[in-house]
Amino acid sequence: MTELIVTEDKIIERVLAMELIRVTERAAVASAKLRGRGDEKAADQAAVDAMRRELNRLPIDGEVVIGEGERDEAPMLFIGEKLGTKKGPKVDIAVDPLEGTTLCAKDMPGSIAVMAMAQAGTLLYAPDVYMDKIAIGPGYSKGIIDLDATPEDNIMAIAKAKMVKPAEVTALVMDRPRHADLIAKLRKIGCSIRLITDGDVVGVIQCAEYHKTGVDIYLGIGGAPEGVLAAGALRCVGGQMQGRLILDTPEKVARAAKMGVKIPNKKYDLSELASGDTVVAATGVTDGALLQGVKFRGDIIETETIIYRSLTGTVRRIHGEHRELSKFHI
């Protein structure tokens, strides 16, 4: 096997890529300390503080392109905030310090701390609007799914490719009133539907781990920033995804235009959502289909992190046992 030569121009160096594990570990532990307390805001703030502190230690010239909101909405990790020591590559930073704040506050499955780091200018700078998404994992022929096809046709295409009946295909959909029509059509064709209440970054990524999750396809409308984060991970494992921003008011069109979106109803392909060398890291906060949640075991804290690297297609799962509680500011 040819040794990968990590040349200077490879923006996300191997060592730097592994640093992201520490960033999401500490954000996950910080919010896990507030798990089940019924306070979304406090849990989210704890994750934001921890993630920002760790990111500012990295040798990067980073800029938040997907974060906690616009500059005037979020005091920290706002879009445009500069992060890192500045002694390193110019990178885009996309963060969701606590994806699934309600899941954490209610100690329900599936909340994670997640972030992506990519070559500057290669992530879609998604405004905080909805995105209509469709996604599948690796192993299918290119173009087998289409956001503009009917749900029935997309399910039939997957069933045909897998040589199974539609009943043996599992679609993951967010349980929302806006999906009533979609769910009715999926029910009619007879596929299995896994409904989630929140957390569709994990929802999309579950398609990439069919052998673990049993999910074939993600369908429906969720957050656009979450769509870009999930796309970064799928890009690393060879999945397929399309997304279209839901810009249904002049204000949203203007807001998106300010972030560089020139065609409001454009259907983005995976390679346009995350087009460059991307690393995505996620640590479980509550136990879920993709990751174990944080475990507080006496003077040891256990974490599980998954890290994806698009340059090599490598996926790593890191089980962490942390003993110096002080580093988590406990």
Q: Residues interacting with ligand VTB, by CB under 6 A?
A: 99-100, 176, 198-201, 222-223, 226
CA dihedral (161, 167, 170, 171) in degrees, to 10, reads 90
Structural tokens at position 39: 């306070």
Residue 90 or residue 176: which is nearer to ligand VTB going by CB? 176
Among candidate residues 232, 204, 222, the one with its CA nearest the CA of residue 94: 232
Q: Compute the least distance from the CB of residue 320 to ligand VTB, in Å.
A: 24
Provide, rounded to whole angstroms, the least separation between the CB of residue 104 and ligand VTB: 10
Q: Is the Cβ of residue 63 or residue 128 nearer to ligand VTB in the bound state? A: 128
Give the nearer residue to ligand VTB in terms of CB position, either 81 or 226.
226
Cβ closest to ligand VTB, residue 177 vs residue 298:
177
Q: How many CB atoms lie within 10 A of CB 226?
A: 26
Q: Which is nearer to ligand VTB, 89 or 203 (CB)?
A: 203
Q: Identify the residue whose tokens are 């008011």.
A: 249
143: β partners: none
The structure tokens listed for 267 are 């259907």
Which helix (H) or strand (E) segment is 261 a member of?
none
Q: Which is nearer to ligand VTB, 111 or 240 (CB)?
A: 111
Q: Least Å distance between CB 226 and ligand VTB?
A: 4
Write down the least CB distance from residue 97 to ligand VTB, Å.
11
Least distance to ligand VTB, CB of residue 254, Å: 21
* Residue number, 96 or 277, with CB nearest to ligand VTB: 96
Q: What is the dihedral of CA 180, 186, 190, 192, to 10 degrees?
A: -90
Bridge partners, 302 (sequence order) = 295, 321
Q: How far is the CB of 116 from ligand VTB (least distance, A)?
A: 15
Q: How far is the CB of 309 from ligand VTB (least distance, A)?
A: 23
Measure CA of the first residue to CA of the last residue in the chain; give whole Å: 45
Length of the chain equals 330
CB 282 within 8 A of CB 114: yes
Write the DSSP string, 206-255.
GGGGHHHH---EEEEEEEHHHHHHHHHHHHHHT-EEEEEEE--SHHHHHH
Closest residue to ligand VTB, judged by C-beta, is: 223
User: Residue 233's CB: how many other CB atoms inside 10 A?
Assistant: 29
Nearest distance from C-beta of residue 176 to ligand VTB, angstroms? 5
Residues 180/185/187/190 CA torsion (nearest 10 deg) = -160
3-state secondary structure of 279: strand
For ligand VTB, the closer CB: 12 or 202: 202
Closest distance between ligand VTB and the C-beta of residue 143, in Å?
Answer: 25
DSSP state of 196: E
